[in-house]
Chains A and B, each alone.
Chain A
Amino acid sequence: MNDTTDIDDIINNLRDDDISNLHSGIEIQSSLDDSFQQTDLTDLKKAWLAERMSPDILAFQTSLIDRLMDRIRIQAAYIEENSMADFHNSGDIKMKLLIVESELERIKFLVRGYLRTRLSKIDKYTIYIIQSGENQQEGNADQFDLRLLLSPQEIQYMERHHRILLNLYNTQFLSALPAQLQRLDDSSGGISMVEEPDLDKPVFIRVLETVERPIRVGLDEITLEKGNIYVLRYSAISKYLIGGEVELI
């Protein structure tokens, strides 16, 4: 049996006024600006996808996540309220709650995936991120302080995790080694011990705005034209990603 038919049937059977009820039910709950509502979900999907696809860490979407979290709380409260109050009510409200809850689960999944992807990158590149901040403080202007891309909570998480990890290495064996071998960010001996993101990783992109100046990839020149999809090295397009001319897919 096709497992989606049932829910499709129910949705098809909804009368128009049910749907408008539904909308008012969902939207009344929110005191936030309407224009944000439609784009926020698209933006979240985009942020989630971009974070999963890009080799290095991107800027934390503070205001987007804040708005969504507010709304998740409101919706959760709405479900709570109505499932209790309208216990004996007709199927209408149940259907409405069902849809709200499904949608809520989906959004939670996206937020969860977004945050966990970031955490895994933070764990992987901890020393690289911390060093980028130190290099910049030493007046090395080429290097961007990657810590600016993290949320305050993420910075806290990273620093604490780094501290306990360092403590573990030290107590286990590092402190027993000769002094010049005790560092974790050792790069003498020809091999750097700090793991860095592979910025030359190929990524799929879709162009949102045509970029007039052709970009150089090896010996070729490419003009990024609106609507087209390319596979390029991340390093070649990262600045257009930040500028919003392209998106990762």
Chain B
Amino acid sequence: MYGDIANKLIQDAKLTQMLETLPLYQEELVRSIVREVRDLHRDTEAVLARYGGELPTQDRKVACWIFVQHLCMRRNKRCLLAYQRLRSTRLDAMAWNDVDTMDQEVLNNLNPNEQDYLRDYSELLVDYKGEWVDVDLTGSLEPPRDLFIDVRVLKDAGEIQTEYG
């Protein structure tokens, strides 16, 4: 049925949300969804052409059919976008967390376009962070409590050297 493949993609996206790392890019699924959209589009165009390119408002059966075709195409598109959006947001987060963009283990699950994107975004981030070196933008988002931690001396450890001497 229309939209079945897109459902699989969304299930994969749902799974992705629960995983720590990005799973493999679903190249095959994405390609078949695109193919489905093109098939739907071709069929619709063919029928529309028979009615001279106008929506046949007289023939309600055909009009309804065309409407459903359109909805399916749009739904597929939204599923594709949602899937890619989720992945690109995760890629952004990877760039913020300073994941090594050359690390093969990370790159294996991305397709080439995503690898390019990750590299581009990391560059962009370096540039933006460069404007704010003094506050260290990637630093902790937890409010700082103390510069030092408390220790209780259990055993005499002798003299230790600190930043301030």
| Tier of interface size on chain B | 35 or more
List residues of chain B with CB within 8 A of the CB of A164: 117, 120-121, 124
Q: With A169-B81, A181-B37 given, is the CB distance from A112 to B88 under 8 Å?
A: no
B128 to chain A, nearest CB (A): 5
Asked if A153 CB lies within 8 Å of chain B CBs, one says yes
A151 to chain B, nearest CB (A): 9
* A87, B165: Cα distance in complex, Å: 6
Give which listed residue, A98, A161, A167, contacts B147 with CB less than 8 A.
A98
Contact with B along A73-87 (1 / 0, CB 8 A): 100100000010001
Give which listed residue, A6, A76, A181, contacts B150 with CB less than 8 A.
A6
In the complex, are the beta carbons of B135 and A111 less than 8 A apart?
A: yes
7 residue pairs bridging A and B, Cβ less than 8 Å apart: A6-B150, A7-B146, A105-B147, A108-B139, A172-B114, A173-B30, A177-B77
Q: A98-B164, A181-B77 are in contact. List 17 more A-B contacts (CB 8 A).
A: A69-B134, A98-B147, A102-B144, A105-B147, A112-B135, A112-B137, A153-B131, A157-B128, A164-B120, A165-B88, A165-B117, A168-B84, A169-B84, A172-B30, A177-B38, A189-B70, A193-B78
Residues of B within 8 A of A (CB): 30, 33-34, 37-38, 41, 70-71, 73-74, 77-78, 80-81, 84, 88, 92, 111, 113-114, 116-117, 120-121, 124, 128, 131-132, 134-137, 139-141, 143-144, 146-147, 150, 152, 163-165
